Amino acid sequence: MPDNLKLWIDRIETPIGELMVVTDHAGNLRAVDWTDYEDRMLRLLRLHYGNDGYTLGPRRNPHGMSDTLKRYFEGDIDVIKNIPVATAGTPFQREVWNELRNIPSGAPVSYGKLAAKIARPKAVRAVGLANGSNPIGIVVPCHRVVGANGSLTGYAGGLDRKRWLLNHEQQHARRD
């Protein structure tokens, strides 16, 4: 039987609540969630890695990840672009999550446009479900997806946080 995946968790204060940051031994980000949704995050970890497939222990600023995320909240929004991530999930989910990382900060897209970008224009609902099951919010920026009319639609951390994240990125986006 293979060894359990060793995961480290830290908690950081942000302007919109306490954030949990989960990394693996190699420095890949595995999960991000708000402490008021800790049960959901733990359920996702069990779903992705199995009940006995991982251990989760506390570690201050694992691989510098907490400091990197703090920089994002301080206005250095591009710092998240190169954060290494590793996720489980289906091939389709990972395809959607990869495309989320290509959405420029400060320029949200609709679910329909996201579906078209992965060459599956009729898979709007499936894209929405994959977006909603993303374990690495902020870094894999599911908050950048909006309704077809530009309205704010579902965000696992709540619409107030989604609004704040979008405003934060629009305020700090580079205008090249």
Helices (H) and strands (E) in the chain, counts: 6, 6
Q: Is 50 exceeded by the pLDDT of residue 1?
A: no
Q: pLDDT at position 133, please?
A: 87
What is the dihedral sign for C-alpha 54, 45, 30, 72? negative
Q: What is the pLDDT of residues 149-174, one digit of tens each?
A: 887 887 777 889 999 999 999 999 87
What topology does CATH give the domain 5-80? Double Stranded RNA Binding Domain (3.30.160)
Q: What is the pLDDT of residues 21-30, one digit of tens each?
A: 999 999 999 9
Answer yes or no: pTM beyond 0.85.
yes
> Which residues are known catalytic residues?
142
- Residue boundaries of the structural domains of the chain: 5-80, 91-172
What is the per-residue burial (b if ≥16 Cβ within 10 Å, else e) of 122-146? Answer: ebbebbbebbebbbbbbbbbbbbbb
150-165-104-71 Cα dihedral, nearest 10 degrees: 170
In angstroms, rounded to a whole number, what is the distance separating the alpha carbons of residues 168 and 109?
Answer: 16
Region 20-47: mean pLDDT is: 95
**91-172 under CATH 1.10.1370.10, yes or no:** no
Is the Cβ–Cβ distance between 172 and 75 less than 8 Å? yes
Q: What is the pLDDT of residues 57-74, one digit of tens each?
A: 999 999 999 999 999 999
